Amino acid sequence: MDKFEFPKDFYWGAATSAHQVEGNNHNDWSEWEKATNHPVSGRACDHYNRFREDFDIAKSLSHNAHRFSIEWSRIEPEEGKWDEKEITHYQEVINALRERGIEPFVTLWHWTLPLWVAKQGGWENKKTISDFARYCEKVTQSIQGIKFWITLNEPDFYARNSYLFGFRPPQKKSFFKFLKVFFHLIKAHKISYTIIKKIGGFAGISQNNFYFNLFLNKTNKQQDFIGVNYYKYWNRGRIKNDMDWSIYPKGLYYVLRGLKKFNKPIYITENGLADAKDEKRLSFIKEHIKWIAQAIKEGADVRGYLYWSLLDNFEWDKGFYPRFGLVEMDYTTMKRIIRSSSFNYKKIIEENSVEL
Cβ closest to ligand BGC, residue 219 vs residue 271: 271
The reply to whether 156 sits near ligand BGC by the rule CB under 6 A is no
Q: Of these, 192, 229, 294, 341, which contacts ligand BGC (CB under 6 A)? A: 229
Torsion angle defined by CA atoms of residues 235, 210, 278 and 237, in that order, rounded to the nearest 10 degrees = 20
CB of 322 to ligand BGC, least distance (A): 7
The reply to whether 41 sits near ligand BGC by the rule CB under 6 A is no
The reply to whether 71 sits near ligand BGC by the rule CB under 6 A is no
Judged by CB under 6 A, the chain residues 258 through 287 that form the site for ligand BGC are: 270
Interacting residues of 345 by C-beta distance below 8 A, sequence separation 6+: 61, 282, 285, 307, 326
**Bond into 309 cis (ω within 30):** yes
Judged by CB under 6 A, the chain residues 198 through 217 that form the site for ligand BGC are: 208
Q: Of these, 30, 315, 320, 349, which contacts ligand BGC (CB under 6 A)? A: 315
Select the span of 1-9, 98-106, 152-160, 170-178 touching ligand BGC (CB under 6 A).
152-160
The reply to whether 151 sits near ligand BGC by the rule CB under 6 A is no
Nearest to 218 by CA among 231, 205, 237, 200: 205
What is the distance of C-alpha 47 from the center of its chain? 15
Torsion angle defined by CA atoms of residues 211, 217, 222 and 227, in that order, rounded to the nearest 10 degrees = 30
159 DSSP 8-state letter: H
36 DSSP 8-state letter: T
CB of 206 to ligand BGC, least distance (A): 7
Select the span of 50-58, 85-93, 125-133, 150-158 touching ligand BGC (CB under 6 A).
150-158
Select the span of 153-161, 162-170, 258-266, 331-339 touching ligand BGC (CB under 6 A).
153-161
CB of 273 to ligand BGC, least distance (A): 9
The reply to whether 241 sits near ligand BGC by the rule CB under 6 A is no
How many residues belong to the site for ligand BGC (CB under 6 A)?
Answer: 10
The reply to whether 22 sits near ligand BGC by the rule CB under 6 A is no
As a whole number of angstroms, the distance between CA 36 and CA 172 comes to: 14
Cβ closest to ligand BGC, residue 247 vs residue 293: 247
Q: Of these, 28, 103, 131, 154, which contacts ligand BGC (CB under 6 A)? A: 154
CB of 12 to ligand BGC, least distance (A): 19
What SS3 class is residue 77?
coil
- In one-letter notation, the amino acid at residue 54 is D
Judged by CB under 6 A, the chain residues 100 through 139 that form the site for ligand BGC are: none
Q: Helix 47-60 crosses helix 84-99 at what angle (to 10 degrees)?
A: 10
Cβ closest to ligand BGC, residue 21 vs residue 293: 21
Q: Of these, 30, 153, 161, 342, which contacts ligand BGC (CB under 6 A)? A: 153
Interacting residues of 308 by C-beta distance below 8 A, sequence separation 6+: 14, 15, 229, 231, 270, 271, 272, 324
The reply to whether 222 sits near ligand BGC by the rule CB under 6 A is no
Cβ closest to ligand BGC, residue 153 vs residue 294: 153
Helix (H) / strand (E) element for 238: namely none
15 and 306 Cβ atoms separated by less than 8 Å: yes
Q: Helix 175-198 crosses helix 127-142 at what angle (to 10 degrees)?
A: 30
As a whole number of angstroms, the distance between CA 351 and CA 341 comes to: 16
Cβ closest to ligand BGC, residue 54 vs residue 315: 315
Select the span of 93-101, 151-159, 254-262, 285-293 touching ligand BGC (CB under 6 A).
151-159
SS (HEC) of 166-190: CCCCCCCCCHHHHHHHHHHHHHHHH
Cβ closest to ligand BGC, residue 6 vs residue 29: 29
State the residues that interact with ligand BGC by CB under 6 A. 17, 20, 153-154, 157, 208, 229, 270, 308, 315
